[in-house]
């Protein structure tokens, strides 16, 4: 008989983007730990490695149980060597109290089973579920706590200051790589040792490559540079994108396009609130883009017809934004922000995960689906505590 589980387990070898849930539960950001949560007893235990003094001589100490306890809000911190015994005791107490022969342990990844399963009792006692925990974790992670919002704000403050530092030096720079170096150097110097994703510093035509990361071309002869770069603070991401005039002044044309994007952004930021369907904000941004491009004479015809044809996607092909949290493209919870309205483009590296892209046909479909008034049902709605980017572009 199946025994409803009261126990969740996760294991952590190093803090890659896929194991951010480990940090979410445990507050530990070093390797070779595990975390267990016994829901019935509300007992969250962080299991940490013991560092041999010879290891410590070369690589330094890992935090002690006392240090971990003082830094996190877990119920207890123990050495990981004791974990198999804890699990064995847990399993036998579960089967004794429920009279059932099977107990389910929920884990996040099939590649991270509990240690020494052969030690955990005879076959049939332990059932490992590798699919149910992930959606539950994502649903929890998508609504941010006050502490998490403070960490994201701190990351944003560092990024904003680093962007300003770039701006003050830009006229003296000669190559994209100097922009990346200054941005990253500034973040490191103020304590944000990692960026949330690979820095994008694209000048001239490179600015049109959404995830350009070569950052090694000259600035001479180019008008604008896009700096899309964000620091990380306590493992929480920020994501800030700005277009800067390389010579210090916008040309008339550069300013005109900059102002269109600024208008899209400010209008969406004014409109955003809990209960809104994010995908509607995307359509709203597109509506502004089309009307402004008509005013500039770049598009010709009727705004309604252009929107219905989806032509705007040729200028603004990416989704308006995404969740931000422990990952820069953070988990979506039960429903994706853009609800699969576009195609998901896979990441090539650098920490930037998938983003939603729109072909003109898809944009036209979205427009036709009646999203313009924001009342269409079945679309993901924003909730209090979610943190999302608003990043239109052209
Ligand atoms: N800011 C880059 C991205 O979200 O893909
Ligand atoms: Mn982004």
Task: Provide residues with CB under 6 Å of ligand 1.
Answer: 228, 239, 241, 322, 352, 355, 391
The whole-angstrom separation of Cα 73 and Cα 188 is 27
| Nearest-angstrom CA–CA distance, 92 and 194 | 43
For the CA of 357, the nearest ligand: 1
Mutate which of 183, 239, 324 for ligand 1 pocket (most atoms within 8 A of beta carbon): 239
Partners of 227 in the β-ladder = 201, 242
In the reported structure, the alpha carbon of residue 275 is separated from the centroid of ligand 1 by a whole-number distance in angstroms of 24
Cα of 170 vs centre of ligand 1, distance in Å, is: 22
What is the pLDDT, as a whole number, of residue 143?
97
Ligand 1 pocket test, candidate residues 163, 212, 240, 389, most atoms within 8 A of CB: 389
Residue 301's pLDDT is what?
Answer: 97
Report the nearest-CA residue for atom 3 of ligand 1: 352
Q: What is the DSSP letter of 206?
A: G
Q: How confident is the model at residue 230, as a pLDDT?
A: 98
Cα(137) to centroid(ligand 2), Å: 22
Q: Coil, strand or helix: which one is 127?
A: strand
The DSSP code for 177 is: H
Q: Which residues contact 155 (CB under 8 A, 6 or more apart)?
A: 192, 196, 230, 231, 232, 233, 236, 237, 238
3-state secondary structure of 227: strand
- Summarize pLDDT for 164-202 with one digit per residue, the tens: 999 999 999 999 999 999 999 999 999 999 999 999 999
Neighbour count for residue 26 (Cβ, 10 Å): 25
Q: What is the pLDDT of residue 4?
A: 40
- Ligand 1 atom nearest residue 228's Cα: 1
Judge contact between 390 and 320, C-beta under 8 A.
yes
pLDDT, residue 17, reads 42
Distance 135 CA to ligand 2 centre (A): 22
The DSSP bridge partners found for residue 232 are 237
What is the whole-number distance in angstroms between the Cα of residue 352 and the centre of ligand 2?
A: 8
Atom of ligand 1 nearest to the CA of 328: 4
**Spans in the chain with pLDDT lower than 50:** 1-5, 14-18, 372, 374
Distance CA 192, CA 152 (A): 12
Mutate to test the pocket of ligand 1, among 155, 323, 350, 352 (most ligand atoms within 8 A of CB): 352
Tokens representing residue 352 in the block:
């930037």
For every residue of 272-339, DSSP letters joined together read --TT-BHHHHHHHHHHHHHHHHHHTTSS-S-HHHHHHHTGGGGTS-B-S--B-SSSSS---TTS-TTT
- C-alpha 70 – ligand 2 centre gap (Å): 34
Q: Which pLDDT tens digit goes with each residue over 4-51? A: 445 556 665 544 444 799 999 999 998 889 999 998 899 999 999 999
């Amino acid at each position: 008989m199946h025994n409803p589980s009261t126990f969740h387990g996760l294991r952590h070898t190093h803090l890659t983007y896929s194991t951010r849930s480990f940090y979410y539960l445990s507050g530990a950001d070093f390797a070779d730990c595990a975390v267990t949560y016994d829901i019935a007893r509300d007992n969250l235990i962080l299991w940490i490695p013991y560092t041999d003094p010879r290891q410590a001589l070369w690589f330094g100490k890992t935090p002690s149980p006392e240090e971990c306890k003082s830094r996190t809000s877990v119920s207890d911190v123990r050495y990981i060597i004791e974990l198999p015994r804890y699990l064995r005791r847990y399993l036998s107490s579960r089967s004794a109290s429920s009279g059932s022969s099977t107990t389910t342990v929920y884990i996040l990844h099939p590649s991270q089973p509990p240690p020494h399963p052969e030690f955990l009792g005879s076959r049939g006692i332990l059932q490992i579920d590798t699919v149910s925990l992930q959606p539950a974790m994502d649903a929890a992670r998508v609504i941010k706590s006050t502490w998490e919002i403070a960490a994201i704000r701190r990351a944003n403050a560092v990024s904003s200051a680093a962007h300003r530092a770039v701006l003050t030096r830009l006229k003296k720079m000669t190559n994209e790589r100097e922009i990346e170096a200054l941005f990253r150097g500034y973040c490191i110097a103020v304590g944000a040792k990692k960026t949330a994703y690979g820095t994008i510093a694209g000048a001239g035509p490179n600015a049109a490559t959404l995830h350009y990361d070569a950052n090694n071309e000259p600035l001479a002869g180019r008008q604008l540079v896009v700096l899309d770069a964000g620091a990380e603070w306590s493992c929480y991401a920020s994501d800030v994108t700005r277009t800067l005039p390389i010579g210090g002044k916008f040309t008339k044309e550069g300013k005109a396009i900059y102002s269109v994007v600024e208008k899209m952004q400010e209008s969406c930021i004014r409109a955003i609130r809990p209960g809104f369907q994010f995908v509607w904000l995307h359509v709203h941004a597109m509506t502004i883009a089309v009307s402004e491009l008509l005013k500039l004479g770049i598009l010709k015809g009727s705004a309604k017809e252009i929107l219905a044809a989806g032509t705007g996607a040729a200028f603004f092909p990416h989704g308006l934004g995404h969740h931000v949290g422990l990952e820069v493209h953070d988990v979506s919870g039960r429903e994706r922000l853009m609800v699969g309205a576009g195609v998901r483009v896979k990441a090539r590296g650098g920490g930037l995960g998938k983003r939603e892209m729109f072909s003109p046909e898809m944009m036209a479909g979205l427009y036709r689906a009646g999203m313009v008034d924001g009342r269409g049902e079945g679309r993901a709605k924003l909730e209090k505590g979610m943190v999302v980017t608003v990043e239109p572009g052209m």
